[in-house]
């Protein structure tokens, strides 16, 4: 690989790492600080943010260091290479499947608004989340158990699954179940949401069941369709080159050009940087929460107010009020003291004397 391509790869990985860390930290803070973003299905967004944040802190900086330093990489059989490849496969699979389940949740919320609360309960959300991480752990552990192999790729500057012909069974199964299936699911749901948006714009936006009617604004469908189309294009741009290169190397036994392999790997891991900005922060409720948090942070840190000094007349007013109270009290006491005692007239005294 030429020096220019290697430096370009390293610079792109540094930018992707910084964007992934910033975007996913912001997403996680918004989910934890704002109550209106908390729901029974927020675990999918938390899982997506955690896996992408871990990718931005571990795998992407590792590739950036190897690319910029020109390091040949650790031995493929060493603990460092095996551990980094395990993390890479685990986080990559968990991120993709978490995004797929978040898309299913969004699809249900838009297309089945009347029965959404009944379909997505907290228990079902936790079960789906447990399934995501169980599948991801199993997929990443198989090469350590002998089914598949981890190796250092000189063209990708990362420890990753080996795409040699003898590992074609593992690569085919992981690509089909771990990568292609969630991408096809998301693109299909995105396409159906766009179809529903056009249909609702023509027919109206009231949906009714046996008990009542539910109003869904047309803007909800149209805005969601724009976000879904953008997400579909981003997914395909990030993953199609990587899938094509990996399958070509696995089933042909030939190595792809080093520049193409490096570019496809960068696009694949950069999805961790694009996910929080496209899938979550394009939604209105997330943007409003981010705007409020940023406004409060700016007011606390940048807008320092001068302390208000007590005015001198306040003390005099307080002194006058005290003097007024004490003067009134003294006058009342003096009046009560100087008042002569009441005496009965002789006639009243005569009638009131029991001896008479």
Domains of the chain, CATH where assigned: 3-290 (1.20.1070.10)
* Residues 148-161: tens digit of each pLDDT: 899 998 888 899 99
Q: Find where tokens 């936006």 sit.
A: 205
* Residues 187-223: tens digit of each pLDDT: 898 888 777 766 766 665 555 555 555 555 555 556 6
Range of weakest confidence among 10-24, 48-62, 319-333: 319-333
DSSP run (H or E) holding 151:
strand 150-153
Do residues 162 and 151 make contact, with C-beta atoms less than 8 angstroms apart?
yes
Helices (H), 121-253: 122-141, 168-174, 181-203, 218-252
Most confident of the ranges 165-174, 199-208, 320-329: 165-174
Residue 32 burial (CB count, 10 A): 12
Do residues 193 and 111 make contact, with C-beta atoms less than 8 angstroms apart?
yes
DSSP run (H or E) holding 98:
helix 79-111
pLDDT at 337 over 70: no
Burial pattern 45-79, b for ≥16 Cβ within 10 A else e, equals bebbbbbbbbbbeebbbbbbebbbeeeebbeeeee
Q: Give me the pLDDT at residue 326, please.
A: 42
Do residues 61 and 144 make contact, with C-beta atoms less than 8 angstroms apart?
no
Range of weakest confidence among 98-112, 232-246, 318-332: 318-332
Give the residue-averaged pLDDT of 223-230.
69
pLDDT at 134 over 50: yes
CB-based contacts of 202-205 (< 8 A; 24+ apart in sequence): none
Radius of gyration over every alpha carbon of the chain, rounded to an integer in angstroms:
36
């Amino acid at each position: 690989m030429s020096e220019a391509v290697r430096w370009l790869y390293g610079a792109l990985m540094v930018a992707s790492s910084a964007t992934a860390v910033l975007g996913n930290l912001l997403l996680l803070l918004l989910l934890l600080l704002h109550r209106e973003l908390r729901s029974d299905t927020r675990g999918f967004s938390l899982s997506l943010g955690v896996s992408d944040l871990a990718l931005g802190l571990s795998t992407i900086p590792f590739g950036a260091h190897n690319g910029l330093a020109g390091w040949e990489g650790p031995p493929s059989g060493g603990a460092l290479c095996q551990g980094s490849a395990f993390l890479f496969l685990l986080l990559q699979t968990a991120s993709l499947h978490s995004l797929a389940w978040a898309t299913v949740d969004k699809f249900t919320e838009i297309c089945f608004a009347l029965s959404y609360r009944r379909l997505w309960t907290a228990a079902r959300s936790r079960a789906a989340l447990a399934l995501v991480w169980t599948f991801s752990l199993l997929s990443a552990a198989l090469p350590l158990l002998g089914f598949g192999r981890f190796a250092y790729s000189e063209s990708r500057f990362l420890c990753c699954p080996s795409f040699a012909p003898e590992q074609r069974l593992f690569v085919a199964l992981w690509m089909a179940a771990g990568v292609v299936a969630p991408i096809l699911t998301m693109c299909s749901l995105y396409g159906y949401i766009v179809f529903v948006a056009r249909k609702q714009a023509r027919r109206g936006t009231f949906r009714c069941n046996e008990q009542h009617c539910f109003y869904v604004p047309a803007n909800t469908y149209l805005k969601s369709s724009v976000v879904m189309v953008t997400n579909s294009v981003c997914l395909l741009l990030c993953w199609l080159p990587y899938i094509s290169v990996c399958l070509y190397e696995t089933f042909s036994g030939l190595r792809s050009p080093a520049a193409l392999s490096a570019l496809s790997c960068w696009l694949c891991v950069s999805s961790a940087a694009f996910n929080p900005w496209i899938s979550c922060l394009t939604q209105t409720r997330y943007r409003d929460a981010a705007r409020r948090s940023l406004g409060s942070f700016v007011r606390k840190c940048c807008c320092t107010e001068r302390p208000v000094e007590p005015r001198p007349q306040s003390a005099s007013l307080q002194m006058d009020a005290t003097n007024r109270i004490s003067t009134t009290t003294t006058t009342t006491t003096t009046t009560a003291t100087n008042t002569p005692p009441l005496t009965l007239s002789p006639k009243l005294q005569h009638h009131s004397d029991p001896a008479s």
